[in-house]
A and B are shown apart, each in its own frame.
Chain A
Amino acid sequence: MSEAILKVDGLKTSFFTDDGEVPAVDGINFSVNEGEILGIVGESGCGKSVTSLSIMGLLPSPPGKIVGGHIYYKGEDISHAKESRMRKLRGNDIAMIFQEPMTSLNPVFTIGDQLIEAIRLHNHLSKQALTDRAVELLKLVGLPRAKELLNEYPHELSGGMRQRVMIAMAMSCNPKVLIADEPTTALDVTIQAQILDLMVKLNKETNTAIIMITHDLGVVAQMCNRVVVMYAGKVVEEGDVKDIFNHPKHPYTEGLIQSIPDLYGKKDKLYTIKGSVPKPGSIRQGCLFAPRCEFVMDKCKENTPELLGDSHKSRCFLHQEQA
């Protein structure tokens, strides 16, 4: 494996509300290597998006704030970097695509305006060169009529086309890391597959590392190399995609896998993990998953398990005992 290009080390992000500090991300570690696709999986509210916004330095602040840990990009700690430094990195080195293609493009500027701006911010090119590059990018993401599209407004495009434009914009400066925050959630299934294929293709062609944030394990199985499973602001399992799908080492991951609908299965009812993600900060002692866990032991309620293991890590007493 090549060098880690982005390393998140003990990141803690909290929101400071009227009711006090709410830890949304609570000491997570993971790293992404060059050209790798890393999946971050978890239910809504487990801190996936906050993690990505922390990396980008785009946390809504106040109330959000990084209260601990480090984020290293190519060895440089960017967790508390100056805004001017972050501006240089954003878009150019670390780019991001968002969940909602319908609202992520500015409705009152043309596709060309927005795409060319993304290129121009980090490259000094002539007007013609900028336009050429924009057309090239639109073709790269498989959009027809690239030249005409430049003069069209977002509302004239479908959701899938807009997400392609967003990807083109994110790829415009050949970033080293692309963070995709549930890029296909708002799209219908056939378009989802196309967008995922496109991202895999771009990953192979440009060697851009992708952090794929999703709650859809199907997406992870299809495109990721490694997975980080998050629960209530903590990493509960991390490892190679195949290992995790074949031998999950945390009851939460097992539950997630079991709740994937099976096209050929004969199950009447889909498996569900009972209960919901605890409110951040509501559980002070023991394993955060204990209240929902089928295999809960006495020890789980008293002690907090550590994330242990070599290449396949998990945060669970049950599996650590078995090992």
Chain B
Amino acid sequence: MLYYSVKRLLMLIPVLLGMTLIVFGIIHAIPGNPALTILGTKATPEAIHSLNKSLGLDNPWYVQYFSYLKDILSGNLGTSIQTNSPISSEIWPHLAATIELSFVAMIIAVFVGINAGIISAWKQNSFLDYTAMILALIGVSMPVFWLGLLEQWGFSIKLQWLPSIGRDDIRNSVNPITNLYLIDTLLQGRFDQFWMVIRHLILPAIALATIPTAIIARMTRSSMLEVLKSDYIRTAKAKGQRMIWIVYKYALKNAFIPILTVIGLQTGLLLGGAILTETIFGWPGVGLYIYNAIQYRDYPVIQSGILVIAFIFVMVNFIVDLLYGLFDPRIKYR
């Protein structure tokens, strides 16, 4: 297991290198001169030339790539053009916001998705099955921006139950320690703020969880249907075991590998793909951070944002690979 983990970690190196190369390539393929963007259209050719030189942009691309790589490895993600502060320190609060939102969304998705899938498979072709699967179909097809707007209209404007925007109330903002507000408020013993943070989380988390919930439910259903037909389930029944126990213990563990794969992929997607949800709900996460950077043509921020998201995606899948062995002893780590 340790050997496999180390080997798998080493295999990540070429993946991550390839990733940096692609990100680097994309940014350089975008037309336009960064110096021109920084100095503005009225800059003199001399000023542009000297800025190019000081930024190292007059070097051949591979020299630029290696200096970029050296910067990343030393934890330097560059400087934001817009705010002129280092991205590595600027990005964390945004990343923390996204992680918190994605985490809550994923908990909802896993809990609701797996249970809906199990019930559908267990009571196949019943009213419950049809209801769950129709809901899943709607969930998968519902655009997030539309669902988000509906939620805001219904729960914030009409019913006024929940806040529609942001991570906290402006007049009662959380004092950040880790920037994961659920943890910060607990650390400070501010339970009133903890509750406020949860209230802010509910609507965006539900919007973000909808598609993963539906996908997990459908995957769970098909995987469980196959397992429930197998001989060892009949054996468990022949022992006199209760059906609910058979379904949740026996069958689920067998059916879990494909579900785990989907959970891993969806978690990666949530962390990176929350841009729409974050924009609608004014959630100050990486998605919104990159969205704003794109509007200002803040290339270093875009570049770093994509890099961080890609890195998280790769790591989530690495963890999922390691988790497979927990659920299926037949998977040998060599």
Binding site for B on A (CB under 8 A): 56, 58, 87-92, 95-96, 98, 100, 103-109, 117-118, 121-122, 153, 155, 166, 169-170
Instruction: Mark B217-254 against chain A: 1 for CB-CB distance below 8 A, else 0.
Output: 00000000000001110111111111000000010011
Contact A108 B327 (CB under 8 A): yes
Is there contact, CB below 8 Å, between B254 and A118? no
Hey, which chain B residues are within 8 Å of A88, CB to CB? Answer: 240
- Across the A-B interface, give the 8 residue pairs with the lowest CB-CB distance, nearest first: A91-B240, A90-B240, A106-B232, A103-B231, A91-B239, A96-B238, A104-B231, A153-B329
B residues in contact (CB < 8 Å) with A: 230-232, 234-242, 250, 253-254, 327-330
The answer to whether A121 and B240 touch (CB under 8 A), given A106-B254, A109-B253, is yes
Chain A nearest CB from B223 CB (Å) reads 13
Q: How far is the CB of B311 from chain A (nearest CB, A)?
A: 32
Residue of B230, B232, B237, B330 near A58 (CB, 8 A) is B237
Question: Which single residue of chain B is at the shortest CB-CB distance from A103?
Answer: B231
In contact, B239 and A117 (Cβ under 8 angstroms): yes
Chain A residues contacting B237 (CB-CB under 8 Å) are 58, 90
CB distance from A88 to the nearest CB of B (A): 7
The answer to whether A92 touches B328 (Cβ under 8 A) is no
Give bound CA distance, A155 to B331, whole Å. Answer: 11
Q: Which residues of B contact A87 (CB under 8 A)?
A: 240-242
CB atoms of A90 and B238 under 8 A apart: yes
Q: Is the CB of A121 within 8 A of B327?
A: no
A95→B253 CA distance, assembly (Å): 25
Q: Which residues of A contact B235 (CB under 8 A)?
A: 98, 104-106, 166, 169
Given the complex, which residues of A lie within 8 Å of B239, measured CB to CB? 90-91, 117-118, 121, 169
Q: A87-B242, A88-B240, A153-B329 are in contact. Are A108 and B254 (CB under 8 A)?
A: yes
18 A-B contact pairs sorted by A residue (CB < 8 Å): A56-B238, A58-B237, A90-B238, A91-B238, A98-B234, A103-B230, A103-B231, A104-B232, A104-B234, A107-B329, A107-B330, A108-B328, A117-B241, A121-B239, A121-B241, A153-B330, A166-B235, A170-B238
Complex Cα distance, B250 from A52, in Å, reads 23
A88 to B242, CA, bound (A): 10
User: Least Cβ distance of A249 to chain B in Å?
Assistant: 34
How distant is B242 from chain A, measured CB to nearest CB, in Å?
A: 7
Residue of B nearest to A93 (CB): B240
Q: Given A153-B329, A153-B330, 8 other A-B contacts at CB below 8 A?
A: A58-B238, A98-B231, A98-B238, A106-B236, A108-B327, A108-B328, A166-B235, A170-B238
Tell me the bound Cα distance from A117 to B250 in angstroms. 12
Cβ-Cβ contact count across A and B, 8 Å cutoff: 66
Q: Which B residues are CB-close (under 8 A) to A92?
A: 240
Output the nearest chain B residue to A172 by Cβ-Cβ distance. Answer: B239
Contacts of B232 in A (CB 8 A): 103-107
Of B231, B236, B328, the residue contacting A100 (CB under 8 A) is B231
* Cα(A100)–Cα(B235), bound, Å: 11
Chain B nearest CB from A158 CB (Å) reads: 15
A95 to chain B, nearest CB (A): 7
B225 smallest CB distance to A (angstroms): 13
Residues of B within 8 A of A122 (CB): 240
Q: Least Cβ distance of A261 to chain B in Å?
A: 29
User: Which of chain B's residues has its CB closest to A87's CB?
Assistant: B240
CB-CB under 8 A for A108 and B329, given A103-B230, A103-B231: yes
A162 to chain B, nearest CB (A): 11
CB distance from A213 to the nearest CB of B (A): 14
Q: How far is the CA of A169 from the CA of B329 in the complex (A)?
A: 21
Q: How far is the CB of B129 from chain A (nearest CB, A)?
A: 13
Q: Indicate if the CB atoms of A108 and B240 lie closer than 8 Å.
A: no
The reply to whether A155 and B330 form a contact with Cβ atoms under 8 Å apart is yes
Contacts of B329 in A (CB 8 A): 107-108, 153, 155
Of the listed residues B230, B240, B250, B330, the one surrounded by the most CB atoms of chain A closer than 10 A to its CB is: B240
Q: State in angstroms the CA–CA spacing of A92 and B235 once bound together.
A: 13
Could you tell me the distance in whole angstroms from the C-beta of B188 to the nearest C-beta in chain A? 43
Q: B234 touching A58 by the CB < 8 A rule?
A: yes
Residues of B close to A104: CB separation below 8 A: 231-232, 234-235
Report B-chain residues with C-beta under 8 Å of the C-beta of A105: 232, 235
